[in-house]
Amino acid sequence: MRKWSWWGAAALTVSVLTLSGLVGRPLAAQPSMVVLVRHGEKATVGGSDPSLSEAGVARAQALAGALTMLTPNAIVVSSLKRTGETAAVVVSKTGVVPTVIPIDGGGAAHVAAVAAAVRAARGIVLVVGHSNTVPAIVTALGGPSLPDLCDASYATLFVLTPGQAGAAAQVVRAQYGAPDGPLPASCTGMVAK
């Protein structure tokens, strides 16, 4: 399993800051950066609200490693256990109390509530969502329209820089933690190559 080293986290941070144009940019009355991830791998037991599997716990640790140089001012999770568990290592390192947005089926109301919570935050915001909500939240925050993530895809990380003065948001798609295994053929249009 690939683990993030300090250098790997630093390289991701420098890349993200450079690509998103944040270096030297003053903070506005909105988040300066939004990091969005899907929850880590879930256990095969636990009904409709399972906890993280061992791989999911490792992914949560990798998320904290990927954010080593970026300290969130706000963390937004859904009401399902696996999102809070994915954010738990970051929460323990930062002391930031997550905002929990009820999932209520994962529909448009949930996406709108998450987007509103993000817009109300300042600085860096971490959002931990689901395969069908993370892309919709990116779009709701001014990013491009994206397909749902493949159910077998957990390594994707989006970094969104809100647009200023009517400009479009900038979105960088990256990978963190262990790479996803081979994805089913039905997922080919859902993930970046």
- Confidence class of residue 182 from pLDDT cuts 50, 70 and 90? confident
User: What's the token pair of residue 151?
Assistant: 């159910």
Q: Write the CB contacts of 156 (distance below 8 Å, at least 6 apart in sequence).
A: 37, 38, 134, 149, 173, 174, 175, 191, 192
- Confidence class of residue 190 from pLDDT cuts 50, 70 and 90? low
Tokens 């939004």 correspond to 34
What count of Cα atoms within 13 Å lies in the side-chain half-sphere of residue 11?
8
Percent helix, strand and coil across the chain, each to the nearest 5: 35, 20, 45
Kind of pairing, strands 156-161 and 170-175?
antiparallel
User: What's the token pair of residue 53?
Assistant: 């599997």
More confident residue, 148 or 12: 148
- Confidence class of residue 7 from pLDDT cuts 50, 70 and 90? very low
Tokens 């937004």 correspond to 76
More confident residue, 186 or 15: 186
Judged against a pLDDT cut of 70, whether residue 5 lies above it is answered with no
Question: Nearest-CA neighbor of 64 among 8, 136, 138?
Answer: 8
Judged against a pLDDT cut of 70, whether residue 32 lies above it is answered with yes
The whole-chain average pLDDT of the chain stands at: 85
Asked if 173 and 62 touch (Cβ cutoff 8 Å), the reply is: no
pLDDT recorded at residue 141: 96
Q: Percent of the chain having pLDDT more than 90?
A: 71
pLDDT digits (tens, 9 = 90+) for 48-104: 999 999 999 999 999 999 999 999 999 999 999 999 999 999 999 999 999 999 997
Question: Nearest-CA neighbor of 35 among 81, 79, 80, 94?
Answer: 94
- Confidence class of residue 186 from pLDDT cuts 50, 70 and 90? confident
All structural domains of the chain, each given as residue ranges with its CATH number in brackets, are 6-22+29-187 (3.40.50.1240)
Phi first, then psi, for residue 86 (nearest 5°) are -70, -35
